[in-house]
Amino acid sequence: MKSRRAKFVAGLTALVLVTAACGSDDSSSTDTDTPATTAAPATTAGGSDTTAAPAALEGTIVVSGSSTVEPISIAVAEEFAAVNPDVNISVDGPGTGDGFKLFCAGETDINDASSKVKPAQLEECAANGIEMIELKVGNDGITMMTNTANSAVECLSFEQIYALTGPESQGISSWAQANAVAAELGETGTLPDAPLSLVGPGEESGTFSSFVEIVIEEFNEDRGQDATTRPDYQASADDNIIIQGIQGSDTSLGWVGFAFAKEATDVKVLQVSEEAGGECVTPTDETIGNNTYPISRPLFIYVNKAKAESNAALAAFVDYYLSNDGIANVAEVGYVSLSDADLASLRDTWSTRTVFAG
């Protein structure tokens, strides 16, 4: 399914409408490997039918949220669609934050999220009577990249990343101008005297939130700054546009999810060190899976509990998402699979419909 992953990264349309096929009203186990299908009617010894076939699954499922998680949900929806044509499924990726606005308003069934739900989002959902089930479906590493032509940069420390992208860097237009702040934070290395073309996720993106939480919040409070990035860079919720921006400048800097970075051409993945003078780590399946890559993060889907209880198609879709075949799409589209222990915990959370309370 490598070609599918390439298709997503090349610019799959943001809104995908898929239709899904016949399935049993009885939700399948989270350990099943195939979507639910209509069972054949039972027969007597003489061959006559004794029971009617279960009613086919039908209805509508609406998934929104993270553009990072979107390729996983699209892949799962395509497979579920192959045997459930009477279920209409829509998947789009306006960003984790924008997705939660829809989810907490009751307009969607599932919110894809590349950052954990925030207390304010949880409170908004609770105020609207919406209970959510949090399901961690995979792992990702926010990947720092520059253009392949930029031979002067191979590794960035958190101190340097903050100095280049943090709230104190507003207005700087060259890599070297970040050296002063980086030095104040303990960095002894120097960045090149080259134009800085910065491109990254916008505030509606879960990748933006994760980046701020993991990198920026290491420094901003001690320096009397807000927990945010500089505002003056090319921002987009579309990872493909961010990659195009990196490709468009010889001395660019940008960041996206790991799956998009792996499929991109004419970009150079940078190593990252969690501290000045520390070990430079390349994002890989292994380093993200064991959290040794410093900007690793979990990926989630959040399910509306009441809708899952009232919509058999939605429950069956999540069953399939967490089945062996469904969850395999995490790796198929380029992210990092859960450990066996995490997968068992995930399935238990779903089977018991455990509500996330923060």
Using DSSP, how many helices (H) and how many strands (E) does the chain show? 15, 13
Residues across the chain: 358
| pLDDT confidence of residue 324 | 97
Give the list of residues 6+ apart from residue 60 with CB closer than 8 angstroms, or none. 87, 88, 89, 90, 313
| pLDDT confidence of residue 20 | 35
Task: Give the residues of the chain that fall short of pLDDT 50.
Answer: 1-53
Retrieve residue 196's tokens: 């800085």
Question: Which segments of 163-246 are extended strands (E)?
Answer: 197-201, 234-236
Q: Report the predicted TM-score, pTM, of the whole model to 2 decimal places.
A: 0.83
**pLDDT tens profile 22-57:** 333 333 333 444 444 433 333 333 333 434 445 689
**pLDDT tens profile 286-337:** 999 999 999 999 999 999 999 999 999 999 999 999 999 999 999 999 999 9
Q: Is the separation of the CB atoms in 4 and 79 below 8 Å? A: no
Domains of the chain and CATH, by start: 2-139+300-351 (3.40.190.10), 143-294 (3.40.190.10)
Q: Which residue has the tokens 């298709």?
A: 7
| pLDDT confidence of residue 237 | 87
Burial string for 152-186 (b: 16+ CB within 10 Å, else e) reads: ebebbbbbbbbbbbbbbbeebeebebbbebbbebe
Retrieve residue 218's tokens: 């290491």
